[in-house]
Structure 1
Amino acid sequence: MKRYLYLWHRWLGISLCLFMALWFVSGVVMLYVGYPKLTPAEHLAHLPELSPRDCCVSPGQALAASGRSEVPSTLRLSSVAGTPRYLLGYADGTRLVVDARSGQRITTVDAHTALASARQFAGTDPVDYLDQVQEDTWSHSRALDPDRPLHRVQVADAAGSLLYISGQTGAVVRDATRTERTWNWLGAWLHWLYPLRDSPWWTQIVIYLALAATLMALLGQVVGLLRWRFAKPYRSGSRSPYAGGFARWHHIGGLLFGAVLIAWIFSGLLSMNPWQLFASSSTATPAAYRGGELNTGSDHQPLAETLAQFRQAGLAVREVHWQRVGGQLYRVGYDAAGESRIQSVVEGAPVLAQLPTSTLEQAARAMLPGVAVQFDWLERYDAYYYQRAEQSMYGHQRKRLPLLRVRFDDPAATWVHLDPYSGALIEQLDQRQRVSRWLFNLLHSWDWLPLLERPLLREVLIIAFSLGGLAISVSGIVLGWRRLRRNPLQHRPPRRLKTPAVAQQRGVT
């Protein structure tokens, strides 16, 4: 039986150690440089303040100009190519744009519009139109699918920014700096096996490679323990049977870092949600929380008056969103720093910093009527609600405090997180998804609050264990290469160390 354990570990290692080494190197890079994205903070910071002068047709007129019978799921007033425009998003992924001054739908986003949009984003830095693409190295993201094709514009700024402009709305949807593009060849591009991204089997390739690597690491841990002398050492005085070199490094390194290596590979496998293990089973729906469609026909207040009221409340508005909560329509204004104010469309309604607790609770109850519910206000981050650094996979998610957590006593044990500043439903977590948080986010990214609050300690620990994993992988590559150079089918058990006296008795010099 031991022989087969050795053989399986050896041949899995020969096949996979190179991938393991790439994963460890790229993982350390991703600790500091993430895959390019445009965060909400970057988006708002590059928008001009919405001026009440010559602004704007009502949101109801914008919906009428869309030419579609169904109501959009999202509606916001922003600035595109230097002019105010309504951006409409639909449940089927379609995105439309309406000129907020003329009330006319814009159906074509050409190179001229893309350059104007890039100039708004870049300010005084020169811009140069490159081309139009469906997808390229830095736009592998399903979130960009509704915006394709994408216009690419190069900015002559210090960061060497490459901008991606939506072919549907004309808005900037991604920026990739020179630093991000350079380091990501060694970071996310390798870590997520993006050279295989165009293959229809990409997801399955990642899943089964990670599954095989987990098995390889588990077998290695078993073999390493079997070969280690706990009771008494080998004749050489060592508890490892290997005299030195890469074999000894591989054995001892595996014993020291193997548990973390297994945790990282296994959690990486779970990041792909294989076989829908963590698919939500909750019956709570965001539509019930909203309490109706986003029909903005009830908002009759002129936009100039709305912007003036937000200004009086201390907010220089860069973007206005329309949001329905509990059947009531609200306007939410955002400034350049992402701060917000909220106002009901009911005539004479005040501008508020937060929605009343009673409004949020009533809307939340509608998600699962008749089910017992518990409301908790979070004043501090905890294991299920926390902020990540901008370069991380979740760095684009702004998580403000306080937050209302809603816990339902339903079979799925559903939790809902509600943002009182905007009324938005930030996330919905059932029991399966909370288990995923521990098996993926904790084991893979070390998203543990004591470490997140001490980023330097977290980085040092991750790098130290990554170097240990890299040592295991590189030594495995060398040992595998040596095995292939010999008779690949010949099995040789590890040679035991000989003391000088024993070697002399056997005629070994």
Structure 2
Amino acid sequence: MRRLKRVKRWLVLGHRWLGIGTGLFFAVWLLSGLVMLYVPFPGLTEAERLAGLAPLALDRVGVEPARALGAAGLATPPRSLDLEMRGDEPVYRIVTAEGRPVTVSAVTGALMTPVTAEAALALVRARAGTAADVRTLARDQWTVAGRYDALRPFHVVALGDTAGTELYVSAVTGAVVLDTGARERFWNWLGAVPHWLYPTPLRARPDLWRDVVLWVSGIGIAGAVSGLVLGIWRLRPRRRYPSGAATPYRGIGRLHHLFGIVGGLGILTFVVSGWLSMNPNRWFSGPSVSPQARATYAGAPPLPGLPEIRDAAAPGTVSLRLVALAGRAHLLARDASGGRRSSPPVAGAAILAAAPGLMPDAHLARAERLAAYDAYWYAHHDAKPLPVLRLVFDDPAATWFHVDAATGELLDRLDRSGRIHRWLFAGLHRLDVPVLIGHRPAWDLAQWLLNGLGLVVALTGVVMGWRRLRRLRPAAGTRG
């Protein structure tokens, strides 16, 4: 009994001080998470990007893809190659296998020089019809992520409209890579920035930021676990306390205890799944497809010439993408509304013929055609194409690949660890579970219920912690 009392005492003290240290974090995380349900972090969707492109001036295209790749100095196939307009000039936008962007004029075959601020202003005026001013920066709150590193610096062009729209033009490529609005920026200061611990000076140092998030959320896990254990330990639904209550606490302490039994479980679920989102110890593999797998899947097809390009681009085409599949080149024409047409058309048999190149050391166990979303291929804030082919391999990791059935494009890779992560993060943190995915407002109600219960626990804990610190302050002053 003496040892049990000692354990309980340390549990009480540990939870008290962990709660004082993390209670405000929990409250901020829960409130900011509710904001993020409705206002995601700023980004430029593919639909928005295509809508801003001008139709291809095919009559000005005088350079074929092979010559453009030669001008870029590429001896190996690129990750992507697109023919689009940059202002009034058609250009090839190339991303190398290493992720480096290169832009080549489709008129002269010359490498395009970096874009100046004045040129960016002119490009936006041609695109949007208006532009008020421009400023240049290497990094800001909305471009802290590493995916922007190859595109820096940026010319940020303010449109001067009532929505406070700003377009980010990459000085490297001359393409608009991000748009933000005043409402979006405001709500993200209350949403994603505090939720992800995303201030620019910290997020600009990826390793430090990752460590900070892991440690802060790890300490939060300890606080939530200790509170949940203590709450269950001190709850007496049958053998009640002398007051007749199931809890020994009164007032705000009673609220904190009783709501903590249910709300604390929700908090623990959220903070553990958030901690796992940082992939501690690299337990989970990511969805990206390796350059080697992409290369073997694509093969080495002869590149199309100018006649094929002109035949593939229908009137209104704003982007022409080269898609290589099993040693054959396909040209994917897309218009400003997102319509797509592959030339020549991509057949399912061609995708199956290319599939073994994705994993030469394994066999394709089966291919499933998905005409609707399921638990592993679904839309959250973003749209995802349908139909897709799910290629299932028999390797030890039980790897899947998702392929766009209409174009043959590789979309992602998902092995056993990735599927486990999908449930531990997306399932527990975002409540992306089959009974709620795509069912609103049921999903919203579940989020508000769990976050609301957690907020009662967090805010009552903050108040109790503040009272405790206020009581300690005079005593500390007397001792001094």
> Does TM, scored on the shorter chain, surpass 0.5?
yes
2:368 is matched with which residue: 346, 366, 376? 376
Q: Distance in 2 between matches of 1:413 and 1:488?
A: 59
1:280-429 map, 5 Å: 286-287=293-294, 289-292=296-299, 297-301=303-307, 303-307=309-313, 310-311=314-315, 316-343=316-343, 351-352=344-345, 355-369=346-360, 371-389=363-381, 395=382, 398-429=383-414
Higher relative contact order (CA 8 A, sep 6+): 1
Moved over 6 A (4+): 281-284
TM-superposed CA distance for 1:90, in Å, is 1.2
Gaps of 5+ in 1: 344-350, 390-394, 491-509
What aligned pairs does 1:412-491 form with structure 2 within 5 A after superposition?
412-487=397-472
Residue of structure 1 aligned with 2:111, choices 105, 108, 132: 105
Structure 1 distance, partners of 2:209, 2:156, is 26
Q: Which amino acid aligns with 2:33?
A: G
Counterparts of 1:183 and 1:251 in 2: how far apart (Å)?
32
Q: CA deviation at 1:433?
A: 0.4
Q: Which runs of 5+ in 2 are unaligned?
A: 1-6, 476-480
Q: Is the 8 A contact 1:418 1:424 kept in 2?
A: yes
SS, match of residue 428 in structure 2: helix
CA contact (8 A) 2:163 2:181 kept: yes
The change in CA–CA distance for 1:296 and 1:13 in structure 2 (over 3 A counts) is farther
The superposition leaves residues 41-68 of structure 1 with CA deviations (integer Å, 9 ceiling, x where unpaired) of 0000111221333234211222222245
The question of whether the paired residues in 2 share the 8 Å contact of 1:65 and 1:104 is answered with: yes
Deviations 1:123-142 (A, max 9, x none): x2x21333211110111221
SS in 1 for 2:55: coil
Contact 2:77-2:295 at 8 Å conserved across structures = no
Paired AA for residue 228 in structure 2 = Q
The alpha-carbon deviation at position 289 of structure 1 amounts to 4.6
Mapping of residues 184-333 of structure 1, within 5 Å: 184-195=188-199, 196-199=202-205, 200-244=207-251, 246-279=252-285, 286-287=293-294, 289-292=296-299, 297-301=303-307, 303-307=309-313, 310-311=314-315, 316-333=316-333
1:464 is displaced (CA, Å) by 2.2
Q: Distance in 1 between matches of 2:398 and 2:289?
A: 10
Deviation at 1:155, TM superposition (A): 0.8
Structure 2 counterpart of 1:466, which letter?
N
For 2:173, the equivalent position in structure 1 comes to 169
Aligned length in residues: 464
- Tell me if structure 2 keeps the 8 A contact 1:119–1:127: yes
SS in 2 for 1:330: strand
Point out the more displaced range, 466-475 or 182-191: 466-475
Query: What is the 5 A alignment of 1:174-185?
Result: 174-185=178-189
SS in 1 for 2:44: coil
**In structure 1, the residue corresponding to 2:213 is in which secondary structure?**
helix
Displacement of 1:302 after TM fit? 5.3
Aligned partner letter, 2:398: A
Contact 2:77-2:96 at 8 Å conserved across structures:
yes
Give distance in 2, aligned partners of 1:283 and 1:185: 33
Secondary structure in 2 matching 1:416: strand
Q: Name the SS for the 1:130 alignment partner.
A: strand
Instruction: State the 1:32 CA deviation.
Output: 0.6
**Residues 25/409 of structure 1: CA separation in 2 closer, same or farther (3 Å cut):** same
Q: How does 1:48-67 map to 2 (within 5 A)?
A: 48-67=54-73
Q: How does 1:27-42 map to 2 (within 5 A)?
A: 27-42=33-48
Question: Cα gap change, 1:194/1:455 in structure 2, threshold over 3 Å: closer, same or farther?
Answer: same
Which amino acid in structure 2 is aligned with residue 118 of structure 1?
V
Note the C-alpha offset of 1:118: 1.5
Structure 1: distance between partners of 2:45 and 2:293? 23
Higher helix share: 2
Query: SS of the counterpart of 2:58?
Result: coil
* Alpha-carbon distance in 1 for matches of 2:340, 2:299: 23
Identity %: 37
